[in-house]
Structure 1
Amino acid sequence: MRLTRHENNPIVAPGGAGWRKAAAFNPGVVQTGDGKFYMYERAAGSLRPFRTSIGLLESDDGVRFKPVSEQPVFTADRLGFPDGSVEDARVVRIDGLYYMCYALQPYAFDCWPTGTGLPAYYPENYPQWADNGVEPMITRSGIAVSEDGIRFEQLAYTTPADIDDRDNALFPEKIGGRYAILRRPMPYVGEKYGTDTPGIWIGYSDDLLAWSEPELVAVAENPEWEGTKIGAAATPVKTERGWLVLYHGVDKQSIYRVGALMLDLENPRKVIARTRLPIMEPETYYEKFGLVLPNVVFPTANLVVDDLLYVYYGCCDTSIGLATVPLKELVDYVFDPES
């Protein structure tokens, strides 16, 4: 199974406005009611501090994007954290409203590449972390809502403030009368939780405001490429055979690859099929080398366009790529990798 990278990759690169000069990556993408593509990029203007906000681009074809606004459409300041970052938007439309899952890091930190895997993060230069009794680099997730896809307001937090929990992805419709969301609570490991490494969990809500305690969905199975953690990559895609979920796996060298699994349509806690090998891994120069983190393909959006699955992904926390695959071909492969 191979996804086809677009010939224009990376389709979005940093530059232009000061708040996105250093990096533009990990986008949410959704189609509007009139067929346009809205892309919600995570963008940074510098590495010291490495503060990210969410900007909006638009496209008629899903490939060539241009800015909608000279300013970000969502920032941590909206949440009461003027020095913080909002990250990794995953966006769906439900009943005409746009819902953006986001991750929040409340205070500033510095970042620079090391060339040996994970970058160096330094929150020590910013006393807000210690002054507020918050674990450095902790991430909380939430949902913002918009009527037009441009002006977003905070709706609710989906995870507690005292644990690191990101990779939230909202299902695009209710299941059994309830909203459902995928999560990745980092501390939920050990015998009590049924997994030795952080995995994919699911929670439910009647109103998008109050969320149930999450239940475990999937854990790392192949130590060669997903040995340290896995997390939901993009919004689940509904197919006749189940919910298709792309996920990222991280190995001990901090290389990010992509797998796929299928969840039961009526009980999405149940995994009914899963790839054994990654369906995508860093291959091109822009996936192996970047400003921040080397060797990363990190999907955060997928859309079905004329029976093709458009997969939008971050490249090395620096730029944005697009890959495509026939949806039926990918689903068939997940169920039968030897076909």
Structure 2
Amino acid sequence: MSKLRLRRYEISISPESSRVIIRPFIPSSPRLITTVIGRALALTEKEVAAELARVKSEFDSRHFDIDSLLLQHFAKVETHVFTHRPLSHERRLLIGALFSGEYALESAALFNPSIVPHPDQSGIPEGALRFIMSLRATGEGHISSIEFRSGVILADGGINLDSVSRFVTIPEVVPNPSYRKESFVTKLHEMGFDNEWTATVLESLEDHFSRSDFTRSVRAVRKQAAPAARDLHRTLECMQWLADSNYELRFSEKLAMSERIIFPVSANESNGIEDARFVRFTGANGEVMYYATYTAYNGKAILPQLIETADFLNFRVLTLNGEAVQNKGMALFPRLIQGSYAMLSRQDDENMLIMFANEPHHWSDPQILMRPAEMWESVKIGNCGSPIETEAGWLVLTHGVGPMRKYCIGAALLDLEDPTKVIGRLKEPLLSPEGNEREGYVPNVVYSCGALVHGRTLILPYAMSDKASAIVSISLDELLDELRR
């Protein structure tokens, strides 16, 4: 363990099982769906009212607007309703409840935090900084989602976390998102579906096209090619998957930060949205955008994805392109370097790499930046979030895996103008799992997805053994002195 002095805060961010959402639970068997609906149709209106009242008395207080959610789930099975008689509002709600269930987002763990300045810095004390913290929440089936917390770092280094709401809300999925044709074509080429059928679908689309434009073009091609050949079916299926993987989300501005949840939407993230690394990115024109790289997991394969937001209310989720988009742990630098975007990555599950690009959605030509050097990182190294700019260089928090799969957090310093040059690395870990930090879902792990500097202090939120999260801080000057030695 490094001799650098850490300030540990009396803050524990622990999972809470009572924070639940309502998810659809619909059997794969059409026969079973019809059977369940039939039982609801057999009830009298009086019986429907009584059963619905029982549901409401038990679950209504746990959700903002349970009626709208139950109606959404009714709509998913409405085609299986085998009567042409109009259904009452109450019967629709009850059928919706039969195909719904609560899901505890963070019942298993709340970990791997990242932290960025809040876009709204109004109304806080002088010398303070309002922040947003993202966390990976994991529930039943190890399905991960993104949660948020907010708070204020005071001028003296104290931290006040905002109270956490008992309610959580999934955002609206924007029904007609837009796409960049160039990125769409590039990804299809990488996937091996650059053929006559993709060319036919894309031919009629503009440089920026909407989901409805895409759907119309696909229908036209299907109709033109009927009956569909096998390769056409596979191509259109792939194009549909790609369209589903790029989507937009919208939260109500009335929701508190802790009430906003990004839950898996597309098939490629059906088993989880893992380890989002948020960064406040400042463009060449001074415009600010928040980016986050994360790992989409479908139970079999992983796929790095990108989130864009300016306000933490409206989000765009995009696939990343390029031969270097392979492994976990991509972390974007917070500004352009010599006119290029820069990204840390891990391609080989051993070393830390760096790569550069003309735009943030396409990455190739990675080069090794750091290899394991000390015993505590001798199995593999990676980043713990985006690099932080200091006057001495780019401060990179690292994670190292050593004997017995123990994860520690270290640090390195890169040259500001040429971040392929390593100025210094800590020989000993900055933070190692100790005491009860060693116990959890994955023992002997401390890990972070991003820190920030406020004044001359590094604020570092970190996860403890994939279960809960805590916060420490350290003097930036002491850390930089150690790295430059």
TM-score clears 0.5: yes
Equivalent position of 2:351 in the other structure = 199
Equivalent position of 1:239 in the other structure = 390
Q: Deviations over 1:160-218 (max 9, x none)?
A: 5994x11111111110111111001136xxxxxxxxxx111112121212112211100
Among 142, 145, 152, the alignment partner of 2:305 is 142
Deviation, structure 1 residue 272? 1.4
Write the distance in 1 (CA, Å) between the matches of 2:160 and 2:351: 32
Equivalences for residues 30-69 of structure 1 within 5 A: 30-35=116-121, 36-46=130-140, 49-61=141-153, 62-67=159-164
Task: Evaluate the alpha carbon distance shift between residue 25 and residue 65 of structure 1 in structure 2; reply closer, same or farther with a 3 A threshold.
Answer: farther
Write the distance in 2 (CA, Å) between the matches of 1:170 and 1:162: 13
In structure 1, runs of 5+ residues without a counterpart are: 108-128, 130-137, 188-197
Task: Evaluate the alpha carbon distance shift between residue 283 and residue 80 of structure 1 in structure 2; reply closer, same or farther with a 3 A threshold.
Answer: same
Task: Evaluate the alpha carbon distance shift between residue 81 and residue 156 of structure 1 in structure 2; reply closer, same or farther with a 3 A threshold.
Answer: closer
Among 355, 365, 378, the alignment partner of 1:213 is 365
Deviation, structure 1 residue 105? 1.3
**Does the Cα contact within 8 Å between 1:2 and 1:280 map onto a contact in 2?**
no
**Does the Cα contact within 8 Å between 1:3 and 1:323 map onto a contact in 2?**
no
Equivalent position of 2:344 in the other structure = 182
Equivalent position of 1:105 in the other structure = 297
Which ranges of 4 or more aligned residues in structure 1 deviate by more than 4 Å? 158-163
Higher strand share: 1
What TM-score, normalized to structure 2? 0.57
Equivalent position of 2:446 in the other structure = 297
Deviation, structure 1 residue 37? 1.1
Equivalences for residues 10-29 of structure 1 within 5 A: 10=12, 12-15=13-16, 16-17=18-19, 18-29=104-115
Equivalent position of 2:402 in the other structure = 251
Among 324, 333, 339, the alignment partner of 2:482 is 333
**Does the Cα contact within 8 Å between 2:142 and 2:271 map onto a contact in 1?**
no
Write the distance in 1 (CA, Å) between the matches of 2:297 and 2:401: 21
In structure 2, runs of 5+ residues without a counterpart are: 20-103, 122-129, 154-158, 170-259, 282-286
Task: Evaluate the alpha carbon distance shift between residue 92 and residue 158 of structure 1 in structure 2; reply closer, same or farther with a 3 A threshold.
Answer: farther
**Does the Cα contact within 8 Å between 2:332 and 2:344 map onto a contact in 1?**
yes
Q: Which amino acid aligns with 2:363?
A: W
Task: Evaluate the alpha carbon distance shift between residue 173 and residue 161 of structure 1 in structure 2; reply closer, same or farther with a 3 A threshold.
Answer: closer
Write the distance in 2 (CA, Å) between the matches of 1:209 and 1:271: 26
Higher helix share: 2
Deviation, structure 1 residue 248? 0.5
Q: Deviations over 1:92-126 (max 9, x none)?
A: 1222221111112122xxxxxxxxxxxxxxxxxxx
What TM-score, normalized to structure 1? 0.80
Write the distance in 2 (CA, Å) between the matches of 1:311 and 1:50: 25
Deviation, structure 1 residue 7? 3.3
**Does the Cα contact within 8 Å between 1:103 and 1:142 map onto a contact in 2?**
yes
State which drifts further: 169-178 or 152-161: 152-161
Say whether 1:226 aligns with 2:414.
Answer: no
Say whether 1:85 aligns with 2:248.
Answer: no
Higher relative contact order (CA 8 A, sep 6+): 1
**Does the Cα contact within 8 Å between 1:142 and 1:159 map onto a contact in 2?**
no
> SS of 1:280's equivalent?
coil
> SS of 1:312's equivalent?
strand
Question: Which protein has the larger Cα radius of gyration, Structure 1 or Structure 2?
Answer: 2
Q: Which amino acid aligns with 1:230?
A: I
**Does the Cα contact within 8 Å between 2:279 and 2:292 map onto a contact in 1?**
yes
**Does the Cα contact within 8 Å between 2:280 and 2:334 map onto a contact in 1?**
yes
Say whether 1:96 aligns with 2:259.
Answer: no
RMSD: 2.0
Deviation, structure 1 residue 255? 0.5
The sequence identity of aligned pairs, in percent, is 31
